[in-house]
Every structure is written in structure tokens, then in C-alpha cells.
């Protein structure tokens, strides 16, 4: 995103969609790597033959937490750059809901809305972004998350 905003101006955009990320294709290789990192080797994620035979989805599906971890990339692509931003840290989630499975090979993108903004002291903001992860060709989103981040503006 090429847009740059001053932090106070950005904080005034509560309730607005601030951006949409590009599409991300989630491959079996990404799923397998995530499974190795998290020790989550459940067959519905990593065993295509068994998932097709025994699983309800016709094949392997993406880990919900893998989809959630892509919020960082989606937000970076979708949100405008804040002038003077020094550090942005993850402050947690108020809510995360996994609403629809993502099939292996599926494409997802994030719609980012500024849900709230609070300046705690000069140059220190907490933003809540509601991120809806869409699945290409599927009406229901993969997940909806209210993600809190803390921004520290350089003075």
C-alpha cells in the first residue's frame, strides 16, 4: 500500500475499511512446514490420501493457526504506512473465530477495518483491526479476528 498517514489521522478512520491484501495461495508445502514447526501433523492437514478417504473435506485443509499467522502479511500489505512509526508490536486478540475451512491450494486475502484506536500517551497508540480472511470463491470467510497492536511513533 503506498498511502502514508500521520497516526492521529489514521486513528480517525474508525469503522472504515483501511485496505485489502493481495491473494495468498496456501500450498501443501506451506502446510507441511507449518505442521513441522508446530508439531500438528493431524492427517487432515498432511496426509492427502487419508484426508480424501476419511476426512469430511475431500482432501487436506489448511491449519486454522496457519491462516491466522498470515494476518501479519495481510495487514502489512493492506494497511497504510504510518508516518514516523518506530515500532509496532502484537498486543493480542480480543476475538478470533474460524468460520470455514481453507482447502489446500486455496487462495485467501485479508480485508482490514480499523475497529478502534486509542492514544495512551503522546506517540503511543493501541489499534484494534478487524481482519476478515476471505477464501476465493467461498462466500463465508475463513476467519474473523479482532487484532490488537501497539504503535510507538518516533518523536
- Report DSSP state, residue 16: S
pLDDT reported for residue 36: 98
pLDDT tens figures, 112-129: 999 999 999 998 999 999
Residue 61's pLDDT is 98
Residue 110: CB partners within 8 Å, gap ≥ 6? 20, 21, 70, 71, 74, 75, 77, 78, 131, 132, 133, 134
Say if residues 74 and 24 touch (Cβ distance below 8 Å).
yes
Q: How confident is the model at residue 2 (pLDDT cuts 50, 70, 90)?
A: low
The confidence score (pLDDT) of residue 85 equals: 86
CATH of the domain at 53: 3.10.129.10
The DSSP element (H or E) to which 2 belongs, if any, is none
Average pLDDT, the chain: 95
For the chain, give percent helix, strand, coil, nearest 5. 25, 40, 30
Beta carbons of 99 and 143 less than 8 angstroms apart: yes
Cell of 83: 508516518
State the SS3 of 26-92: CCHHHHHHHHHHHCCCCHHHHCHHHHHHHCCCCCCECCHHHHHHCHHHHHHHHCCEECCEEEEEEEE
> Which candidate, 81, 86, 85, 144, places its Cα nearest to that of 115?
144
Q: Provide the residue range defining the domain that includes 32.
A: 4-153
Q: Is the pTM of this model over 0.85?
A: yes
Number of domains making up the chain:
1
Residue 144 C-alpha cell reads as 474473523
Residue 133: name the closest of 125, 124, 123, 143 by CA: 143
Higher pLDDT, residue 91 or 1: 91
pLDDT per residue as tens digits for the range 62-116: 999 999 999 999 999 999 888 888 899 999 999 999 999 999 999 999 999 999 9
Amino acid at each position: 500500500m503506498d498511502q502514508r498517514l500521520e497516526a492521529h489521522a489514521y486513528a480517525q478512520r474508525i469503522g472504515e475499511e483501511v485496505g485489502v491484501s493481495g491473494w495468498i495461495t496456501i500450498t501443501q508445502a506451506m502446510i507441511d512446514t507449518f505442521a513441522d514447526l508446530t508439531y500438528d501433523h493431524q492427517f487432515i492437514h498432511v496426509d492427502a490420501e487419508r484426508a480424501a478417504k476419511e476426512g469430511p473435506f475431500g482432501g487436506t485443509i489448511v491449519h486454522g493457526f496457519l491462516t491466522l499467522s498470515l494476518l501479519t502479511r495481510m495487514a502489512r500489505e493492506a494497511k497504510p504506512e504510518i508516518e514516523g512509526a518506530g515500532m509496532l508490536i502484537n498486543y493480542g486478540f480480543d476475538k478470533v473465530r474460524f468460520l470455514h475451512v481453507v482447502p489446500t491450494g486455496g487462495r485467501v486475502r485479508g480485508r482490514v477495518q480499523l475497529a478502534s484506536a486509542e492514544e495512551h500517551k503522546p506517540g503511543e497508540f493501541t489499534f484494534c483491526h478487524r481482519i476478515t480472511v476471505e477464501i476465493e470463491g467461498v462466500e463465508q470467510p475463513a476467519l474473523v479476528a479482532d487484532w490488537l497492536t501497539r504503535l510507538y511513533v518516533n518523536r
